[in-house]
Structure 1
Amino acid sequence: MDSPVCLIENTKDGKLVVNAEAVGILSGIRDPVVVVSIVGLYRTGKSYLMNKLAGAKKGFNLGYKVQAETKGIWMWCIPHPTKLDHTLVLLDTEGLGDVEKGDKKNDIWIFCLAVLLSSALVYNSKGTIDQDAIDKLKFVGDIAELIKVKSHDNDDEEAEFSQHFPIFIWAVRDFHLRLNVDGKSVTEDEYLENALKLRNPEKTTKDEDFNRPRKRLRMYFRSRKCFVFDQPSPNKEDLQNMDNICESALNPQFLEQTKRFCDYVFREAETKKVIGMVTVTGSQLGKLAEMYTEAVMTSRIACMEDVAHTLSDMENQAAVQEAAQQYENKMKENVVLPTQTLDQFLTLSREYENEALQIFLKRSFKDKDQTFLQQYMKLIDEKKSNFGHMNEAKSQELCEALILKLSMEHEEAVTKGSYTIHGGHEKFKQNLKAIEDKFNNEPGKGVQAEIVLKEYLKSQEHIGYTILKSDEALTAKEKEIEEEKARKKIEEMEQKVREMEESQEKRKLEDNEMSMEKNMMGLLEKVAKERAQTAAELQRVIAEKERERDSFEKQGFTKQANMYRAQIEDLQEKEKGQQEPEWYTPIMDTFKSVAKTVLPVVIEVGGAMLQAKATKKWKTYKAK
């Protein structure tokens, strides 16, 4: 993108509407996305920081008028500066607290969507972090009215926000104080945490009001970071012309602070995830924007679990269709029918099946009970079977046309009675052998050649018998010998065709087993990787919650500390579940069930054999 576009428009009647153009842009992004949103009061310089993250002077509208410039939420997608094959999505939001708009509910919607869509949330303010600054961040307290983590009732709902909310970065602009607390120098982060300290005990309503926004900030955002920025320039004209002024004219301290901020965001802002630690791509982000905006606008609570399940179903269904279409397109583009041999057909098919499988595995997620994988496998098997029938039909068509061409003179001779002469049977045999030899020497006949030739020669059996009986050049004994030879040749050819058909069926079955095994191993490897990532993420969340628990205990807030303790225990159970030794057994059972459909020749034996082989391979894979 050369410049930002509006992702969510704030209409004149105060409604939020997702822009189809922006969703179209996101739909073309299949890479994982890192989403950074910035929120804060209007006229606090949010757009400047976002342009710096984009590596540009201009882009998001800076605006230096008294009125707020940015309306709704604007989006800018660029390649991530440090994460390979990732897209950085920057979301610049409409300034909160616009006196002309005067709509608190609209502000809450904007803030809520910024939280739901981002992996890093930057809160931009001016001056210092004091009571007034924290009071202005009142939107945090309203989130619980619009967001739920799970669809069922949950007493600890708000306590679970931190597992799914973005990291929180407080950017304090035009900071003019020393970083000093109680006469001691402190870091920016220590300055923020000191501002979020609670009053204990809560003796009065005023104490409770003081603690409430601080508790929520600490509870909702597991990771908090603070940056303070000097004023960019003492010159008012420079401040009103920031998108054109040379950096050399700006305060060097401000430039260094901005660079540290950008470096931190590039390094620490992670890939956007939904419930279950599932990585979000650009196309999925567009769907999330639509679903969350619809939920907020229809006065429904935005349930992250429900949205994740809906998104999962949509993406998994799309993954099935995309992967199957890829297989079909590749087969149509690259497989010239008929193939010379069945092996050639199966080898090409397996190559494109593997490509399709990678597409499915990359796009699908949270496929409970492998429901969509089963759909994918059955659909691929159906398309493969159709191509196989087309391969056989095309071969049969070519072979029958070739036989017709090669046998024209022979058939004409039969019709005219040219073989009903003295020695006619020998001539009949020679011409039939010549047709057979020419047919066998003709290339490109495909997999039905033996069958078509057998059927043709069998159709000539009765004609040859009639000619043999009328041929006076042969004695009765010779006729008997010739008749036996003809009969044996047909039997031998029929036996050869039966063996070929049995061999082809066996080869098809082996190929289906190989495909099934490949699908199983691909899924197991994907799930193993996801479980390892989930375990690592859970360990990090546990460590962060232990930090908060210890902090609350230290300050004497036993209730909050116990709440975190219970959460930690739940998370530890989940983390332990990611390491269950036989977690892959249900997946193999699913494949065994599918084998009954895809491998009908060996319904039970094939499934059990497949499971045994895959289990052995999986253990070898794990050992490596």
Structure 2
Amino acid sequence: MASLSGQAHKRNAHGELISTIKMKAPVCLIKNTVEDGKAKLVVNPEAITILSKIHQPVVVVSIVGLYRTGKSYLMNKLAGAQKGFSLGATVQSKTKGIWMWCVPHPTNTNHTLVLLDTEGLGDVEKGDSRNDVWIFSLAVLLSSALVYNSKGTIDQDAMDKLKFVWEITELIKVKTEDNEDEEAEFSSHFPIFIWAVRDFHLALNIDGKQVSEDEYLENALKLKDSVKTTKDEAYNRPRECIRMYFGKRKCFLFPFPTISEKHLQKLEEVDDNELNDNFVAQSKKFCDYIFQNAEVKGLKEVLTLTGAQLGDLATIYTEAISSSNVACMEDAVISLADKENKVAIQKAAQLYEERMKEVTLPTETLDNFLGKSQKCEAEARALFLKKSFKDKDQKFLIQFMEHLVNKKQEFIAKNEKKSREVCWAIIRKHSADFEKALPARKYMERGGYAKFKKDLKAIEDKYNKERGKGVKAEEVLQEYMKSKKDAEINILKEDNSLSQKEKDEEEAKTRKKCEEMEKKMQELEEVKQKLMVEAQNNCNEETVKKLTEKMEEERHFMAVKMEKIINDKEKERELLLQQGLERQARMFHEQIADLKKQRDTPDFGVLNPVIRPIAAGIRGFLGLFEP
């Protein structure tokens, strides 16, 4: 069982509990298994449990490459640890499947860095060649940054070993339906690409000119002008894929870490001061670059992923690849959205309930109650809109609003019940002597009617002076006064100090007063309904406003991201034209045209494109307030 070196809990601005987890050591996230003689990948429940406790945004860095190329050393450096991922010192691959290490992000507060160390590619002991492309595909799908680790130089042999780059397009689909523009969309989903070349010892010189590491990589990615043979095609294919799918690329060239064979075999036990200074400096540059440039993991429809969502995504993709050999991003998002939107409803409704429980009941007026509820609704709505995504036709938003209305009705009922309890307690306090006098027939005497009216009026005056009675103050008083009507008429009839005419007039006044009470009670109920409808209207309008703001924010985010992708492809196209590679440049030109067409559609960047029907649907909740 994996142990954690620390786990702190706090709440964010939305009242959500945030866990900051630092694992002592990595655990296996995705296991390599064999079932019925066939290779299969399965997620490790222990790792998913750890991820489920991370409610912060995650930055995910995966490293892939041939086995025994020192991948684990770089991952330990990113974790800020000497040991962690198993380095191994023999010709056998130590890392099997995909291993995970979650640590606090070194530079981004309230973010978690998730490091994924993958099984070495090309391990002769695997027995199933499909396993490599499965592992590579999952690394691409789950990462914010993908590090490809190789040894020596970037030559044709190194490129040949990157065959997985074009093979993954057979395993990864952007949409469920066949899509001619799918290749153009890959670059909007793929992570940044970092090529780490280990044990590099050549001079950075091309055609007599000193070049940078990045220029060295771009030179290695140059394409052949004319493709005449299958060999030429094989030469160009990995280069085309890297240039096409990974718009942001970076290269780091690492010298030998040490000349000591003994140190090489136990690199995790060797202090930096015993290693090559240039190697140590390059390792720091590598880590700093990733900390600064690897963004929070997101999907097209989900701007940021939490650890819990990453765990769900890992499960969905792993099961899809293992069962059907195809991982569809759209299917994964739909599956993830269904679960997350239900959780969003639950969490937001729970937040409203928690906030409302802090309100002291009874409130003095309904206006006062609705004002406090409005603030709690705003917090709950903000949390729901933050957590929800890909809410087609806004059905989950409507469910949330219905849930909120029901919860508000419950608190309205509690507020009224508490008010009635307080009011009746006050009535009982001030009417104790009066209530004893009635059954003792103390008012059944000459002049008793006037005394009865005087005592009843005194109770009313004392009651009205009391504070904190709440929303049912008037109603309870009227109920009490009305309950004394029969006693009042009986006392009136028995009072010999009054003439029959006076008795008839007083009885008429009493009955008229009761009618007025009934009318007033009806008016109070109408005022209540009007206030509640107005409050719900305001809530609905505010929801539509905040939803619109969210959609505009998403549209802007997607537009910025799309422009960056188009600009990257424009640069690639210009470079290819400068190199006289018109055929390859034309491929980029077609992709750019596809992306611009997508960008210019009316619904581009709107993750929740249905706004008018939603406004109407939300306003339809008003019927819930009818008595």
Whether these two folds match at TM > 0.5 is yes
From 413, 434, 448, the equivalent of 1:410 is 434
Instruction: Kindly indicate whether residue 382 of structure 2 is the aligned counterpart of residue 375 of structure 1.
Output: no
Q: Could you tell me which residue of structure 1 aligns to residue 455 of structure 2? A: 431
Instruction: Kindly indicate whether residue 166 of structure 2 is the aligned counterpart of residue 141 of structure 1.
Output: yes
In 2, are the aligned partners of 1:367 and 1:373 still within 8 Å (CA)? yes
In 2, are the aligned partners of 1:287 and 1:311 still within 8 Å (CA)? yes
Q: 1:309–1:288: structure 2 CA closer, same or farther, 3 Å change rule?
A: same
In 1, are the aligned partners of 2:447 and 2:497 still within 8 Å (CA)? yes
Instruction: Kindly indicate whether residue 208 of structure 2 is the aligned counterpart of residue 183 of structure 1.
Output: yes
**2:193 partner amino acid:** F
Q: Could you tell me which residue of structure 1 aligns to residue 294 of structure 2? A: 269
Q: Could you tell me which residue of structure 1 aligns to residue 199 of structure 2? A: 174
In 1, are the aligned partners of 2:67 and 2:121 still within 8 Å (CA)? yes
User: For 2:585 and 2:424, how far apart are their aligned partners in 1?
Assistant: 83
**1:372 partner amino acid:** F
Task: Figure out how many residues of one structure are paired with residues of the other and give that number.
Answer: 601
In 2, are the aligned partners of 1:124 and 1:170 still within 8 Å (CA)? yes
- Over residues 132-190 of structure 1, what are the superposed CA-to-partner deviations in whole Å (9 max), with x where a residue is unaligned? 11111222232122111111112343343222111111100000111122232221112
**Distance apart, 1:536 and its partner CA:** 0.6
User: For 2:302 and 2:418, how far apart are their aligned partners in 1?
Assistant: 49
In 2, are the aligned partners of 1:534 and 1:578 still within 8 Å (CA)? no
**2:391 partner amino acid:** D
- Over residues 292-331 of structure 1, what are the superposed CA-to-partner deviations in whole Å (9 max), with x where a residue is unaligned? 0000110241011111122122211211111012212332
Q: 1:276–1:574: structure 2 CA closer, same or farther, 3 Å change rule?
A: farther
In 2, are the aligned partners of 1:378 and 1:598 still within 8 Å (CA)? no
Q: Secondary structure at the match of 1:84?
A: coil
Q: Could you tell me which residue of structure 2 aligns to residue 448 of structure 1? A: 472
**Distance apart, 1:551 and its partner CA:** 3.2
**Distance apart, 1:525 and its partner CA:** 1.9
In 2, are the aligned partners of 1:5 and 1:22 still within 8 Å (CA)? yes
- Over residues 353-394 of structure 1, what are the superposed CA-to-partner deviations in whole Å (9 max), with x where a residue is unaligned? 122112111111222332221111111011101211222233
Q: After the TM superposition, which of the residue ranges 124-133 and 422-431 deviates more from structure 2?
A: 422-431
- Over residues 163-222 of structure 1, what are the superposed CA-to-partner deviations in whole Å (9 max), with x where a residue is unaligned? 211111110000011112223222111211221222221112221122222222222222
From 260, 270, 275, the equivalent of 2:285 is 260
In 2, are the aligned partners of 1:513 and 1:599 still within 8 Å (CA)? no
**1:552 partner amino acid:** L
**2:25 partner amino acid:** S
**2:463 partner amino acid:** F
User: For 2:512 and 2:609, how far apart are their aligned partners in 1?
Assistant: 53
Q: Could you tell me which residue of structure 2 aligns to residue 53 of structure 1? A: 78
For structure 2, list consecutive stretches of 5 or more residues without a partner in the other structure: 1-21
Matches within 5 A, 1:267-346: 267-276=292-301, 278-332=303-357, 334-346=358-370
Matches within 5 A, 1:117-266: 117-266=142-291
Instruction: Kindly indicate whether residue 569 of structure 2 is the aligned counterpart of residue 571 of structure 1.
Output: no
User: For 2:323 and 2:605, how far apart are their aligned partners in 1?
Assistant: 45
User: For 2:375 and 2:618, how far apart are their aligned partners in 1?
Assistant: 21
From 85, 102, 108, the equivalent of 2:133 is 108
**Distance apart, 1:50 and its partner CA:** 0.9
- Over residues 227-250 of structure 1, what are the superposed CA-to-partner deviations in whole Å (9 max), with x where a residue is unaligned? 110001111112222222221111
Q: After the TM superposition, which of the residue ranges 336-345 and 476-485 deviates more from structure 2?
A: 476-485
**1:60 partner amino acid:** F
User: For 1:196 and 1:360, how far apart are their aligned partners in 2?
Assistant: 45
User: For 2:472 and 2:528, how far apart are their aligned partners in 1?
Assistant: 11
Q: Could you tell me which residue of structure 2 aligns to residue 618 of structure 1? A: none
Q: 1:210–1:3: structure 2 CA closer, same or farther, 3 Å change rule?
A: same
Q: Could you tell me which residue of structure 1 aligns to residue 15 of structure 2? A: none
Q: Secondary structure at the match of 1:415?
A: coil
* RMSD over equivalenced CA pairs, Å: 2.5
User: For 1:585 and 1:154, how far apart are their aligned partners in 2?
Assistant: 21
User: For 2:608 and 2:67, how far apart are their aligned partners in 1?
Assistant: 52
Q: Secondary structure at the match of 1:243?
A: helix
Q: Could you tell me which residue of structure 2 aligns to residue 29 of structure 1? A: 54
- Over residues 234-283 of structure 1, what are the superposed CA-to-partner deviations in whole Å (9 max), with x where a residue is unaligned? 11112222222221111111112112211211122122121346322221
Instruction: Kindly indicate whether residue 411 of structure 2 is the aligned counterpart of residue 387 of structure 1.
Output: yes
Q: 1:255–1:557: structure 2 CA closer, same or farther, 3 Å change rule?
A: same
User: For 1:554 and 1:432, how far apart are their aligned partners in 2?
Assistant: 100
Q: 1:599–1:580: structure 2 CA closer, same or farther, 3 Å change rule?
A: farther
Instruction: Kindly indicate whether residue 7 of structure 2 is the aligned counterpart of residue 7 of structure 1.
Output: no
Q: Could you tell me which residue of structure 2 aligns to residue 422 of structure 1? A: 446
User: For 2:601 and 2:301, how far apart are their aligned partners in 1?
Assistant: 13
Q: Secondary structure at the match of 1:278?
A: coil
Q: Secondary structure at the match of 2:544?
A: helix
User: For 2:604 and 2:120, how far apart are their aligned partners in 1?
Assistant: 48
In 1, are the aligned partners of 2:394 and 2:610 still within 8 Å (CA)? no
User: For 2:436 and 2:517, how far apart are their aligned partners in 1?
Assistant: 25
User: For 1:363 and 1:597, how far apart are their aligned partners in 2?
Assistant: 22
Q: 1:275–1:579: structure 2 CA closer, same or farther, 3 Å change rule?
A: closer
**2:183 partner amino acid:** E
**Distance apart, 1:464 and its partner CA:** 0.9
Instruction: Kindly indicate whether residue 123 of structure 2 is the aligned counterpart of residue 98 of structure 1.
Output: yes
For structure 1, list consecutive stretches of 5 or more residues without a partner in the other structure: 603-624
Matches within 5 A, 1:525-604: 525-577=549-601, 587-598=611-622
User: For 1:19 and 1:585, how far apart are their aligned partners in 2?
Assistant: 37
**Distance apart, 1:95 and its partner CA:** 1.1
Q: After the TM superposition, which of the residue ranges 298-307 and 154-163 deviates more from structure 2?
A: 154-163
**Distance apart, 1:439 and its partner CA:** 3.2
TM-score, length-scaled by structure 2: 0.90
User: For 2:442 and 2:255, how far apart are their aligned partners in 1?
Assistant: 110
User: For 1:47 and 1:185, how far apart are their aligned partners in 2?
Assistant: 31
**Distance apart, 1:42 and its partner CA:** 1.0
- Over residues 93-112 of structure 1, what are the superposed CA-to-partner deviations in whole Å (9 max), with x where a residue is unaligned? 11111222233111211111
**2:67 partner amino acid:** Y
In 2, are the aligned partners of 1:35 and 1:119 still within 8 Å (CA)? yes
Matches within 5 A, 1:44-83: 44-83=69-108
User: For 2:30 and 2:261, how far apart are their aligned partners in 1?
Assistant: 32
**Distance apart, 1:543 and its partner CA:** 0.4
User: For 2:232 and 2:610, how far apart are their aligned partners in 1?
Assistant: 53
Q: Could you tell me which residue of structure 1 aligns to residue 67 of structure 2? A: 42
Q: Could you tell me which residue of structure 2 aligns to residue 609 of structure 1? A: none
**Distance apart, 1:30 and its partner CA:** 2.3
Q: Could you tell me which residue of structure 2 aligns to residue 605 of structure 1? A: none
Q: After the TM superposition, which of the residue ranges 546-555 and 48-57 deviates more from structure 2?
A: 546-555
Q: Could you tell me which residue of structure 1 aligns to residue 3 of structure 2? A: none
Matches within 5 A, 1:339-354: 339-354=363-378
In 2, are the aligned partners of 1:127 and 1:174 still within 8 Å (CA)? yes
Q: After the TM superposition, which of the residue ranges 30-39 and 570-579 deviates more from structure 2?
A: 570-579
In 1, are the aligned partners of 2:554 and 2:606 still within 8 Å (CA)? no
Q: Could you tell me which residue of structure 2 aligns to residue 19 of structure 1? A: 44
Q: After the TM superposition, which of the residue ranges 76-85 and 187-196 deviates more from structure 2?
A: 76-85
- Over residues 399-444 of structure 1, what are the superposed CA-to-partner deviations in whole Å (9 max), with x where a residue is unaligned? 3455456545434433343322111112221232233234334444
In 1, are the aligned partners of 2:144 and 2:191 still within 8 Å (CA)? yes
**1:252 partner amino acid:** D
